[in-house]
Amino acid sequence: MKSSAAILSVVLSMTVACNRSGSSGNPHQTPLVGASTGAVQIDLLADGNPVIYFQYAVIPQTGEVRVLSEARFNQGKEEIPDEFDQPTGAIDACWKKPASASPDAKYVARCVDEFDRRDQFSVVHHDAFIVEDRIRSAEAFHWKMEERRRIRGFAWSPKSDAVAVLSLRQDYVRLGFLGHMAIPYDAVYLDVIGVDHQFAEYMVRRDVVYAWSRILKWNPNVSVVALRNK
């Protein structure tokens, strides 16, 4: 029995090690006409040993999604930036109701926990992203996400004309030889929402095992080439 368990453990480790960093989304995706200029810079980790670390830039105006850098670290020795977009470039959970005012103070973005009752004894929880118009005292945008999708951060553009929302959608890739066991994989998305109600979604990376991600900064008037040369 110990031998069988050891073999399964090795096979599982090899499978995760081979595939856990996933693959990038298309580098050319839908441009958001009239979107705020510059690049939204994010980072993400694929868990394991070594940890695989990526930095990406998404440029809404052109629809570009580009890898800026890739590195590998031993667990517990990750060399990643301490700073990220404040106050909500990285969040713990929407049930804590994190919120961020736009730079011009006309809007507030927040995420909250909402739920639907599945039956008499259970409910389904959803992350919901909301943009409030302070001048009109009304919601400008309300997005209740699917059950398996979780918001990991959000950040305003420097011009207050759009907000970027970073989220993970969890899927399960089942391994036949392990029967009922499954390894969780995440897809990483960045959505850009204009205060004029324009909306574009960018697939950053798919099939990442135990992904962790955050928004580092929305850099105004910065190209992918300039970010790579930093």
Closest to 140 measured CA to CA, from 112, 189, 106: 106
- Tell me the DSSP string of 149-163: EEEEEEEE-TTSSEE
pLDDT of residue 4: 39
Residue 194: exposure state from Cβ atoms within 10 A (0-12, 13-18, ≥19): buried
pLDDT digits (tens, 9 = 90+) for 31-43: 887 667 889 999 9
Confidence of residue 177 (pLDDT cuts 50, 70, 90): low
207: buried, middle or exposed (CB in 10 Å: 19+, 13-18, 0-12)? middle
Q: Residue 3: which pLDDT band, with cuts at 50, 70 and 90?
A: very low
Q: What is the pLDDT of residue 174?
A: 58
Question: For residue 104, what pLDDT is reported?
Answer: 96
Please state, in angstroms and rounded to a whole number, the distance separating the CA atoms of residues 204 and 199: 16
- What local confidence, expressed as pLDDT, does residue 213 receive? 96
Over residues 90-143, the pLDDT tens digits come to 999 999 999 999 999 999 999 999 988 777 778 888 999 999 999 999 999 999
Range of the domain at 13: 2-228
In the chain, how many domains are there? Answer: 1
